[in-house]
Structure 1
Amino acid sequence: MARAQGARAQMALAFETTYGTPPASGFTRMPFASTTLGSEQPLLSSELLGYGRDPLAPVKDAVTADGDVVVPIDAEAFGFWLKAAFGDPVTTGTGPYTHEFRSGSWTLPSMSIETGMPEVPRYAMYSGCVLDQLSWQVQRSGLLTATARLVAQGETIAAASGAGTPEELSLLRFGHFNGAISRDGVALGNVVSAEVTYANNLDRIETIRADGKIDGADPSIAALTGRIEVRFADQTLVAQAQTGDPCEIGFAYSLPTGESFSFTAHAVYLPRPRIEIPGPQGIQASFDWQAARAETTGRMCTATLVNSVATY
């Protein structure tokens, strides 16, 4: 008997026309490192008395479908997650194409995501997936990945794939060594590590339904936060924290073949950090920053992806 192995797992994604309804075609095979996406339905213990010490049968509670997907930050497939986070991009060019994803949209697309274990076989289709949070870390070495947190409406299990033959994309992966961090357009030095988290702060519409599923997930006030860890070499960031003025911080990655990804937070506010001297080693300062809407651009952040994909 074949046993499920993660090495043979598959994932396909397609955007939905109608929330909660998987499309008949148009799926794309997605690279991923791991996923906790799943559906669960807990049991409620019986509270009734008068039938002895042994409890009565439990009752099923509402269905919850959500989870995380860890994906590589690459030149093509990552655009699907950016569209899920920000909505449709503004695309220009005739190849290569420049896709500009802008924060602030009140309408987010829903997705159907199928995870497959062909050797069992087991194919789980998660419909009505809306992206709640997208985050990644910036560091000197290691694999560059992002974590997409999703809220789904429900799960359907089948013995055969419902995604048909997914479209294949080229895997052109960015690495940490391809990255750079800038402040107001000037390279920001002495950075040890950084974190970026964009959250749509979804509001689950938990109406009463016979199937126990949610009716949707609406975006509320978005949030863009993170952390910058720097070697304490000058007073630039500390001075900004003291004055309370915002700055623009950009994270950029590029490949020798011309593909690139940049993420710009247009108005970043820094807290005043505690500067400690822990010992004889180098002194570091940590800034837990927050971004807000910038008056110059009219939005909080912009993600730009340059590749050979004509449309998302």
Structure 2
Amino acid sequence: MARAQGARAQMALAYETVYGTPPVGGFTKMPFASTSLGSEQPLLNSELLGYGRDPLAPIKDAVTADGDVMVPIDAEAFGFWLKAAFGDPITSGVGPYTHEFRSGSWTLPSMSIETGMPEVPRYAMYSGCVLDTLSWQMQRSGILTATASLVAQGEAIANTSASGTLADLDLKRFGHFNGAITRNGQSLGNIISAEITYANNLDRVETIRSDGRIDGADPSIAALTGKIEVRFADQVLVDQAIAGDPCALQFTYTLPSGESFAFTAHAVYLPRPRIEMSGPQGVQASFDWQAARDTTLGRMCTATLINTIGEY
């Protein structure tokens, strides 16, 4: 008997025309490192008395379908997750193409995502997937990945794939050594690490249905937060925190072949940090920053991806 192995797992993604209805085609094979995407339906204990000490049979509760997908930050496939987070991009150029994803859209696309274990076989189609949060870390070394947290409507299991046989994308991964951080257009030095989290703060539409599923996932007020860990060398960031003024932080990755990804938070506010000297090593400071809507641009952030894909 064949047993499931993660090494043979696969994932395919397609955008939906109707929420919760998987399309008949248009799937793209997606690279991923791990996923916890799944559906569960808990049992509720019986509260009834009068039948002795042994409980009566439990009843089923509502269905919950959600989970995380860990994906590489690369020049092509990452654009699908950016579209899920921000909506349709503004695309320009004739190859290479520049895809500009802007925050603030009230309309987010829903996706159907199929995960497969061919050796069992088991193929799970998760329909009505909407992206809740997208987060990643910048550091000096290691593997660069992002985590996409999803809210789905439901799960359908089959023993054959509904997405078909798909070709691999041309995977061009960014690495931590390709990264840089700027503040108001100037290189920001002495950064040990950085964290970025964009959240759509989805509101599940939990209407009464016979199948126990949600009716949708609507975006509410978005949030862009993060943390930068710096080796304390000057007063620039502390002075900004004390003054309460915003700055623009840009997190970029660039490949020698020309592909790039830039994420810009246009109005970042810093809290006043505690500066501690805990030993003979260098002094570090942490800033748990928050971004807000820039009054000039009219949005909070912009993600720009330059690659050879003409359309997402």
With structure 1 as the length reference, what TM-score do the two structures score?
1.00
CA distance in 2, matches of 1:184, 1:51: 71
CA distance in 2, matches of 1:255, 1:112: 30
Correspondence for 1:284: 284
CA distance in 2, matches of 1:212, 1:231: 51
SS for the counterpart of 2:289 is: strand
Contact 1:26–1:166, Cα closer than 8 Å, also in 2: no
Q: How many equivalent residue pairs?
A: 312
C-alpha displacement of 1:164: 1.5
CA distance in 1, matches of 2:169, 2:260: 16
SS for the counterpart of 1:241 is: helix
C-alpha displacement of 1:136: 0.1
SS for the counterpart of 1:67 is: strand
CA distance in 2, matches of 1:187, 1:124: 45
- Structure 1 portions without partners, runs of 5+: none
User: Does 2:309 correspond to 1:309?
Assistant: yes
Correspondence for 1:195: 195
Correspondence for 2:294: 294
| Counterpart AA for 2:9 | A
SS for the counterpart of 2:79 is: helix
* Identical-pair percentage: 81
1:9-88 paired onto structure 2 within 5 Å: 9-88=9-88
CA distance in 2, matches of 1:174, 1:168: 17
CA distance in 2, matches of 1:193, 1:166: 37
Q: CA RMSD in A?
A: 0.5
| Counterpart AA for 1:48 | L
CA distance in 1, matches of 2:165, 2:151: 25
1:124-273 paired onto structure 2 within 5 Å: 124-273=124-273
| Counterpart AA for 2:292 | A
CA distance in 1, matches of 2:25, 2:167: 10
CA distance in 2, matches of 1:34, 1:129: 17
SS for the counterpart of 2:56 is: coil
| Counterpart AA for 2:68 | D
C-alpha displacement of 1:165: 2.5
| Counterpart AA for 2:131 | L
Deviations 1:112-145 (A, max 9, x none): 0000000000000000000000000000000000
Correspondence for 1:121: 121
- Structure 2 portions without partners, runs of 5+: none
| Counterpart AA for 2:67 | G
With structure 2 as the length reference, what TM-score do the two structures score?
1.00
| Counterpart AA for 2:79 | G
CA distance in 2, matches of 1:223, 1:46: 40
SS for the counterpart of 1:81 is: helix
C-alpha displacement of 1:168: 2.8
Contact 1:270–1:290, Cα closer than 8 Å, also in 2: yes
